Structure 1
Amino acid sequence: MAGFNTAVTGLKAASTDLDVIGNNIANSSTVGFKTSRTEFGDIYATAVVGAGSSNVAGSGVTVSDIAQDFQAGTIEFTNNNLDLAINGSGFFQLDDGQGGTTFTRAGAFQLDKDGFIVSKSGKFLQGYGLDDQGNRLPIGNLAVSQKESPPKATEDIDLSFNIDSREDPTTLTFPYDKDTPASFTYSTTVRTFDSLGNEHTIKYNMVERRPTKDVYSVTTASTAVRISGVTVDPTDGFSAAEIASIEAADSRIDGATLSYSGGVMSFEIKAKYSDYGDVVIEDVSGTPTDITPAPTERDANEVRLYDLAVPSAAQSPATIDVSGVSIVVTDSMSELDMANTIQAREQEILDRNPAIESVSVIDAGSGNYQISIRFKAEQGNINPTSYPISITPTGYTGMSLNSTVDGDNGFQGMYRLYAYLNGTELLDIGKVEDPGEPGAPAGNTEVGPILLEFNPSSGLLRGINDVTFTSGATAPSITVSGADPANNATTITLDLTGTTQFASASIVKSSTQDGYTKGDLIGVSFSETGEMVASFSNGQNQDLGVVAIATFENQSGLQPSGDTEWTATLTSGDAIVNPPGTGLNGTLRSAALEQSNVDLSAELVALIEAQRNFQANSKTIETQNTVTQAILQI
């Protein structure tokens, strides 16, 4: 009877269903496992004659397919960076080293003894290597090839700071000494590394320029001298062209005067930047030992000195107007009386003229006295017509200008910047050799300070080493030489952009440098887009490769091959390999594993259904047997 065969096919199908469900339940904790389901098809006997008749009982059931469900499982995070999960579609590609390629969603990887990333079954994870420029190489075995990071010498320093503008440069001790904090305004230190990875420091000392000027006075019988490399001959007069040549040759000089009488020449040079470097003065033979004047220092204030004259009886009383303050003098006064009378009105003069610092009496000897009007240093060189002295009656010259010492406010916002390797060795940071030094090629640099210039109105940096730029703009770089004891050819580029001089505490606003010491491998991690990044103990990271993700036109056509792996078939098509996150590829999660997608609740219900089907088919055989026995008993 056909019923026996039909029931047997039902038993076989139900038994297969139980096997599939049992396998799902057994792998409910298997990383990367994909659940399967049993798909059935009915069996009908066909014949040429009578085909298509509806009066066909059928021949049973067959298992038409065991289909896999590639729905993603839950991603759970771990403490191992080599545990990988794909958040989305795709498979990891594995190579067994013998030409076999499989695909998996189980990302529990580890390093083998040679540094290759392998699966639990020992197969190599595939990915793109990277060349020195970061370009992708052909797909191959991913490996942690870098076990250490070589040292790198510091080549770039970005440093910005604020110097408190409220600091008073007149309180600095003189001369400057790197080991005397009271002699400099502000100091900060930056860590650096040499070519061998040794750590060093560069200490930067900033010294605000005091309101002074350096003045040179020389007397020589020579008919010509050389000043900062420029030869001048006083016998034909000290021309404006010669002054311009000296100022052009040496940016530190802002003026010169000269006199020549009886074969003896005397001259005075006023240097812009005190304590920055001596102006080179030599005779025409080029031997500076003949005349080596040391600069003397004077205040940068403008000072006007006035002679006094007592009015005659015909002129008395007379009025002297000192910049808006009227003072009456008479013929009964002496010059000392006049001087004291004017000096007694000092406070009124100061109140009406904020630019004036003081009014004082000078004893010129022989009963003669003078009035000295001293202006504030920050006022600089004042227009001769400013702050006039007027006298009545007309023709009376009771207070006449004797001499003027020009003012200079060029000290405002000016700092000398020194750099020291490890706090001791003075470095070359671009100071141009003093013009006129014997044997010094033009444009060469030497160890010593350079100049920083701030806009006194805005507090923004506007000049470095005599190179000016728009306040607040990107500052020209400073080249630091000699800061790498292991390699003298190494230079450091120092960027001070953002440095300011505001009325707030002196602080470092930002400080970065690009050097580092040797580092050892401490770990490997992966980015969402698949980059494998090695981390080293020196704080550096290096991309070692990119994980490859494979997708298929028909992933349902993949053939299970064990160890939670699949192989490609004609039905699935060839693998399409790309980095994670490109196209429809899922992104990568490091320190995470995709769990099995088995739903235990659904599987247990299905188990009951499969058991019921098996029992029902068994009952069919039992019934058929009873019928057969009844027939045999007829």
Structure 2
Amino acid sequence: MAGFNTAITGLKAASTNLDVTGNNIANSSTVGFKASRTEFGDIYATAVVGAGSSNVAGSGVTVTDIAQNFEAGTTEFTSNNLDLAINGSGFFQLDDGQGGVTYTRAGAFELDKDGYVVSKTGKYLQGYGLDSEGNRLPIQNLAVDQKESPPQATSNIGLSFNINDAADPTLLSTPYDKDVPASFTYSTTVRTFDSLGNEHTVKYNMVEQRPVRDVYAVDVTFPDTLSISGVNVSFDAAGVPDATDLDNLRNTDKRIDTSTLLFTQDATAAAGVGSVSFETYAKYSSYGDMNISDSTGVNITPEPTERDANENYAYKLAVPTADTELNIGGVAIEISTNPTAPTLAEIAELISVRQTDIKDRNPNVESVSVVEEGGEFRLDIRFKAEYGNIGSEFSVTETDMATGAASSAVLTADTTKTYEGDNTYRGQYQMYAYLNGTELLDIGKSVDPGETGFSVNSTDTLSEVGAVMLGFDPTTGFLSSVNGTSFSVGATAPELTIKGADPANTETLITLDLSDSTQFASASIVKTSSQDGYTKGDLIGVSFAETGEMVASFSNGEKQNLGVVAFATFENQSGLQPAGDTEWGATLTSGNAVLNPPGTGLNGSLRSAALEQSNVDLSTELVRLIEAQRNFQANSKTLETLNTVTQAILQI
């Protein structure tokens, strides 16, 4: 009777189902475990093919497949960065070091004694190595092979600040002294590291230019030649400089206002004896060294004096012989000679009482005053320095009231008391840099004209220790020039090069970027500050990014990518062969593994400090267990029934 065999196949199938279900239940807490399902097929020993029906009893049941469910399990987070979970599709690839390669979703990894990332069974996690440029290398064993981070000398500094426009440069103490805070407008410090990892500081002092001009004067006897900033300037016996020499000086030393180059005759001496004087622009007051030498090459550079950068008009007062209208900046003052001409003191009083009117009508006027010296009276009109040269914006005229013709009866120009204005100081700062607050650094200041290394072509000019000029647009407050190079708002500021800030390596150069610095009327603050140097660091931990990068963290705050975890995918993951320890092996049915970093193609992302739990549903498995048990009992009943029938036949 074939029924016995049929019942036996049913018992075997039910037993296999019990085994599979029991295995699922047993691994309900196994990390990365994938539940299996028993699939059955019926058995027919023969098949009749024809026009009629086939009345053939089946031969039982067979297990056609034990299929695995690769649905993702629940992700649970842990406190161990080496616990990894795959959020999406893919498998970790493991290598046992003997050529055996398996795949798993169980990401409970750890470091072995050699720093390799291994599974709990000691197999090596596979990934991409990285070269020094961060390019991926072929698949290999991932390892934490960097136990320390070597020091790196600072090579780039980014610094942006706001410096208070409301600060009054005229209140600064002079001369500038790095140890006297009252002599500079603002100061800030950035830490740096040398090539051995020692920490240092670079302190920056900003000194706002004051509205003054430096005045140089040397005693001379002409005809002779002076060397000014390395340019030979010849003077004739009357003290007039050679025009060509003057052009050369103007093109060589941009600090000098050559229009002020003047020979003043000594009234008590012979012709050609006196002094040569000139002024620097207010932008460059107290900036750099001046070099003046006589025809024999002897240095005769004096200490400069200062004069205010305000424009000044000066006139000697005289008593008119006819009625005259004096018009000062649009304010008319009548001076009558009837019945008698006024005295100089009375004329001075007429002007003085109108000072407020003149200032109200002319915002660029700082003061109007009449000064008495040795019985003579002088009218001084002083303009605010920030207006620079006033020119035709302000006029002083005289008119004969009887004829309406221009007159010069009251005022006579006093040229010795007249100065041009100069507002080039506005928004200008000298910036000094000091290593550890003491040693003045070379931050790109060009060698002064007349010194060795100077060149008219600024690209060929050597640099020296000292201050560089920073310029802010006085109308917008944005940084507009660095060390003489101008740039537009929003553009990257020209970089400065700092030399000598690495005591361990004199060849180290540091690039300083001051972009986005401003001069607004608010508190002086640092807006951003950064530098790329650091000291030696020891390994303190390893973590993984979502895209698979294995990142080492060091005690100096640095991070370094050591490799990238590789994810394996298959054309048919159901064809994978279980290999135990929640691992699978590739087969012909599954196809070869396709390896890519996480987050690329169909790969899922990587989660650090997380583990994928078993995907077993205990409720479902318990129901299946009951079903398998009843199937087994039913097939046992079939055997029992067939046995009874057989006994009955034997008793006939």
Kindly indicate whether the alpha-carbon contact (under 8 Å) linking 1:301 and 1:376 is maintained by their aligned counterparts in 2. yes
Single out whichever of 44-53 and 8-17 deviates more from structure 2: 44-53
How many Å apart are 1:533 and its aligned residue? 1.4
2:250 to 247, 250, 260: 247
Structure 2 residue aligned with 1:603: 621
Structure 1 residue aligned with 2:331: 325
Task: Measure, in 2, the Cα distance between the counterparts of 1:430 and 1:335.
Answer: 57
How many Å apart are 1:86 and its aligned residue? 1.4
Structure 1 residue aligned with 2:278: 269
Q: Cα 1:267–1:472, aligned 2, differ >3 Å: closer, same or farther?
A: farther
Secondary structure of 2:18 counterpart: helix
Q: In the alignment, is residue 346 of structure 1 matched against residue 346 of structure 2? A: no
Structure 2 residue aligned with 1:233: 234
TM-score normalized with structure 2 length: 0.93
How many residues were matched structurally? Answer: 627
Secondary structure of 2:471 counterpart: strand
Which one-letter code corresponds to 1:110 in the other structure? E
Kindly indicate whether the alpha-carbon contact (under 8 Å) linking 1:580 and 1:586 is maintained by their aligned counterparts in 2. yes
Q: State the percentage of identical aligned residues.
A: 67
Kindly indicate whether the alpha-carbon contact (under 8 Å) linking 2:158 and 2:514 is maintained by their aligned counterparts in 1. yes
Secondary structure of 1:200 counterpart: strand
Task: Measure, in 1, the Cα distance between the counterparts of 2:489 and 2:586.
Answer: 66
Single out whichever of 380-389 and 110-119 deviates more from structure 2: 380-389
Q: Cα 1:471–1:359, aligned 2, differ >3 Å: closer, same or farther?
A: same
Task: Measure, in 1, the Cα distance between the counterparts of 2:496 and 2:47.
Answer: 98
How many Å apart are 1:51 and its aligned residue? 12
How many Å apart are 1:29 and its aligned residue? 0.7
Question: Map of 1:156-167 to 2, 5 A cutoff?
Answer: 156-167=156-167
2:410 to 398, 408, 431: 398
Task: Measure, in 1, the Cα distance between the counterparts of 2:217 and 2:120.
Answer: 88
Kindly indicate whether the alpha-carbon contact (under 8 Å) linking 1:455 and 1:471 is maintained by their aligned counterparts in 2. no
Q: In the alignment, is residue 301 of structure 1 matched against residue 310 of structure 2? A: yes
How many Å apart are 1:335 and its aligned residue? 1.5
1:282 to 293, 316, 320: 293
Task: Measure, in 2, the Cα distance between the counterparts of 1:163 and 1:364.
Answer: 43
Task: Measure, in 1, the Cα distance between the counterparts of 2:244 and 2:386.
Answer: 29
Q: In the alignment, is residue 535 of structure 1 matched against residue 553 of structure 2? A: yes
How many Å apart are 1:429 and its aligned residue? 0.9
1:565 to 558, 580, 583: 583
Question: Map of 1:432-581 to 2, 5 A cutoff?
Answer: 432-437=446-451, 439-442=452-455, 443-581=461-599
Task: Measure, in 2, the Cα distance between the counterparts of 1:323 and 1:567.
Answer: 99
Structure 1 residue aligned with 2:59: 59
Secondary structure of 1:405 counterpart: coil
Which one-letter code corresponds to 1:339 in the other structure? A
Which one-letter code corresponds to 2:110 in the other structure? Q
Which one-letter code corresponds to 2:480 in the other structure? R
Kindly indicate whether the alpha-carbon contact (under 8 Å) linking 1:363 and 1:369 is maintained by their aligned counterparts in 2. yes
How many Å apart are 1:221 and its aligned residue? 2.8
Which one-letter code corresponds to 2:412 in the other structure? S
Question: Map of 1:19-98 to 2, 5 A cutoff?
Answer: 19-46=19-46, 54-98=54-98
How many Å apart are 1:43 and its aligned residue? 2.1
Q: In the alignment, is residue 188 of structure 1 matched against residue 188 of structure 2? A: yes
Kindly indicate whether the alpha-carbon contact (under 8 Å) linking 2:46 and 2:56 is maintained by their aligned counterparts in 1. no
How many Å apart are 1:417 and its aligned residue? 0.6
How many Å apart are 1:340 and its aligned residue? 2.5
Single out whichever of 381-390 and 263-272 deviates more from structure 2: 381-390
Kindly indicate whether the alpha-carbon contact (under 8 Å) linking 1:32 and 1:564 is maintained by their aligned counterparts in 2. yes
Task: Measure, in 2, the Cα distance between the counterparts of 1:464 and 1:189.
Answer: 19
Which one-letter code corresponds to 2:399 in the other structure? I
Structure 2, unpaired ranges of 5+ = 456-460
Kindly indicate whether the alpha-carbon contact (under 8 Å) linking 2:32 and 2:104 is maintained by their aligned counterparts in 1. yes
In the TM superposition, what whole-angstrom CA distance separates every residue of 1:592-625 from its partner, at most 9, and x where no partner exists? 1111111111100000000001111111122222
2:421 to 390, 394, 407: 407
Structure 1, unpaired ranges of 5+ = none
Structure 1 residue aligned with 2:372: 363
Q: Cα 1:384–1:57, aligned 2, differ >3 Å: closer, same or farther?
A: closer
How many Å apart are 1:472 and its aligned residue? 4.2
1:383 to 386, 391, 395: 391
Q: Cα 1:408–1:441, aligned 2, differ >3 Å: closer, same or farther?
A: closer
Single out whichever of 49-58 and 114-123 deviates more from structure 2: 49-58
Kindly indicate whether the alpha-carbon contact (under 8 Å) linking 1:461 and 1:472 is maintained by their aligned counterparts in 2. no
Structure 1 residue aligned with 2:346: 337
In the TM superposition, what whole-angstrom CA distance separates every residue of 1:201-223 from its partner, at most 9, and x where no partner exists? 11111111111110011112361
Task: Measure, in 1, the Cα distance between the counterparts of 2:347 and 2:557.
Answer: 77
Structure 1 residue aligned with 2:150: 150
Q: In the alignment, is residue 418 of structure 1 matched against residue 432 of structure 2? A: yes
Which one-letter code corresponds to 1:519 in the other structure? G
Which one-letter code corresponds to 2:475 in the other structure? S
Task: Measure, in 1, the Cα distance between the counterparts of 2:158 and 2:29.
Answer: 53
Kindly indicate whether the alpha-carbon contact (under 8 Å) linking 1:320 and 1:392 is maintained by their aligned counterparts in 2. no
Question: Map of 1:152-231 to 2, 5 A cutoff?
Answer: 152-221=152-221, 223-231=224-232
Kindly indicate whether the alpha-carbon contact (under 8 Å) linking 2:330 and 2:361 is maintained by their aligned counterparts in 1. yes
In the TM superposition, what whole-angstrom CA distance separates every residue of 1:437-467 from its partner, at most 9, and x where no partner exists? 3x44432211111111111111121112222
Secondary structure of 1:623 counterpart: helix
How many Å apart are 1:23 and its aligned residue? 0.3
How many Å apart are 1:263 and its aligned residue? 3.9
How many Å apart are 1:50 and its aligned residue? 9.8
Kindly indicate whether the alpha-carbon contact (under 8 Å) linking 1:303 and 1:372 is maintained by their aligned counterparts in 2. yes
Structure 2 residue aligned with 1:258: 262
In the TM superposition, what whole-angstrom CA distance separates every residue of 1:547-594 from its partner, at most 9, and x where no partner exists? 111112221111111101111112222212222222222221211111
How many Å apart are 1:27 and its aligned residue? 0.3
Task: Measure, in 2, the Cα distance between the counterparts of 1:131 and 1:37.
Answer: 45
Q: Cα 1:527–1:385, aligned 2, differ >3 Å: closer, same or farther?
A: closer
Task: Measure, in 2, the Cα distance between the counterparts of 1:586 and 1:248.
Answer: 67
Kindly indicate whether the alpha-carbon contact (under 8 Å) linking 2:448 and 2:454 is maintained by their aligned counterparts in 1. no
Single out whichever of 298-307 and 259-268 deviates more from structure 2: 259-268
How many Å apart are 1:490 and its aligned residue? 0.8
Which one-letter code corresponds to 1:340 in the other structure? E
In the TM superposition, what whole-angstrom CA distance separates every residue of 1:334-376 from its partner, at most 9, and x where no partner exists? 21222232122211111111111111122231x2211111111
Secondary structure of 1:224 counterpart: strand
Kindly indicate whether the alpha-carbon contact (under 8 Å) linking 2:430 and 2:469 is maintained by their aligned counterparts in 1. yes
Task: Measure, in 1, the Cα distance between the counterparts of 2:28 and 2:52.
Answer: 45
Task: Measure, in 1, the Cα distance between the counterparts of 2:358 and 2:298.
Answer: 51
Q: Cα 1:49–1:168, aligned 2, differ >3 Å: closer, same or farther?
A: closer
Task: Measure, in 2, the Cα distance between the counterparts of 1:559 and 1:479.
Answer: 63
In the TM superposition, what whole-angstrom CA distance separates every residue of 1:209-260 from its partner, at most 9, and x where no partner exists? 1111100111123611100000011027313432232122112112232337
Single out whichever of 6-15 and 51-60 deviates more from structure 2: 51-60
Kindly indicate whether the alpha-carbon contact (under 8 Å) linking 2:164 and 2:523 is maintained by their aligned counterparts in 1. yes
How many Å apart are 1:42 and its aligned residue? 1.8
How many Å apart are 1:129 and its aligned residue? 0.7
Kindly indicate whether the alpha-carbon contact (under 8 Å) linking 1:462 and 1:472 is maintained by their aligned counterparts in 2. no
